[in-house]
Amino acid sequence: MNLDWLDFFDSFSFLWAWMLAFLPLPWIIRLILPPASQKQLPLFAPHLMARLSKSARLPSLEANGQQRRIPWLFVLLWLFLVLAAMRPVWFLTPAAFTQTGKDMMLAVDLSGSMEKNDMTLNGRPVDRLTSVKTVVSQFIKKRQGDRMGLVVFGTQAFLQSPLTYDLKTVESLLNETEIGMAGNNTAIGDAIGITLKHLRQANQKNAVMILLTDGSNTAGTVQPIDAAKQAKKMGLKIYTIGIGQSQESAMNVFFGGSDMDLATLKNIAKITGGKFFYAADTDKLNEVYASIDKLESTPHLLHQYRMREELFVWPLGLALLLSLLMVAHRLYRSPMQHSATTNTPDNAESAQGGQS
């Protein structure tokens, strides 16, 4: 039982508890302001008070001490208004989420060569981009708690998604990409450059970039090595991935027997403190992203937040209901008081005098 009460006080709170100081305000006003007597009231509206005195037979405000009391309905009305002003809230069950603090920019090549069907997926041949989408989507799902962004490049480079915790959106934008939508050439340097521009605008340092391409730098205004040097100054670590079957054997790919500019990709990784990978098939690409996942793993920090539900509408609604009841009560009593005054002995005598 005690535990239930502790849970209640842990979940219920007033955001503006200081509004409780206004609770005695009506009583303070009654004490400070002098009472108005019937002798003073006619000074302000003599004709009105004369008519009210005849019709309602107002009792003496000075003699009747109850006129100084505040009606209990008004007390309740004021109490509910103060409670509403204190903003009562109910905190829901705490929700937890993990955050690793990593900021990752994914750069994906959409040039025309990504259309080659030299990759396999579930035993069937697929183009390079389809393989990339499958593997990178799985990688994104594993990085819950990180911020990720997406850059796509071909002849030009474009920022598809800024850094965000909404990884589902990043994954969706990746899956919506198409070969050639950024042009058929390959602007590796511009892809790094637009990433640096975004990170600079976001005032973000020590981020990680995973650059995936199947070719060499054939377009753009920024040279890849120059961009890599700028990335090093900003603390951007770049992992480079070469993808696709070479025209020669996969064993010779590290010796330059490919249309990929392997030397440039290796230098980019070396300059920025990253690492170069080569993936000739989907399984190898899976291994590459698994390796990066391990290299960039950090202890997960557990954060908690509590959603709250505003409860001020309940006392405010009760205050509105009471005010309607008070108005209805006043309207109901007025005709009864009027009929009672018309049947007083004074009125009866005056009526008899008129008949005689």
140 and 217 part of one domain: yes
Q: What is the residue range of 125's domain?
A: 97-305
82 and 140 part of one domain: no
316 and 340 part of one domain: yes
104 and 84 part of one domain: no
234 and 299 part of one domain: yes
Has this prediction a pTM greater than 0.75?
no
Task: Write the DSSP string, 67-86.
Answer: GGSPPHHHHHHHHHHHHHHT
Model pLDDT for residues 190-229, shown as the tens digit of each residue: 999 999 999 998 888 789 999 999 888 999 999 999 999 9
Which of the four pLDDT bands, split at 50, 70 and 90, describes residue 134? very high
168 and 259 part of one domain: yes
Model pLDDT for residues 224-238, shown as the tens digit of each residue: 999 999 999 999 999
191 and 259 part of one domain: yes
Q: What CATH number does residue 239 fall under?
A: 3.40.50.410
Over the range 257-274, which residues count as b (16 or more CB within 10 Å of their CB) and which as e?
ebebbbebbbbbbebbeb
Tell me phi and psi for residue 230, to 5 degrees: -65, -35
Residue 300 is predicted with a pLDDT of 53
Domain boundary among 305, 323, 343: 305
Residue 71 is predicted with a pLDDT of 75
Q: In the chain, pLDDT over 90 holds for what percent of residues?
A: 42
337 and 245 part of one domain: no
329 and 289 part of one domain: no
Into how many domains does the chain fold? 2
Q: Which of 175, 164, 173 is nearest to 104 (CA)?
A: 164
**Of 7-16, 34-43, 131-140, minimum mean pLDDT range:** 34-43
The amino acid present at 192, given as its one-letter code, is I
Task: Compute CA 197 distance to the chain's CA centroid, rounded to the nearest angstrom.
Answer: 26
142 and 278 part of one domain: yes
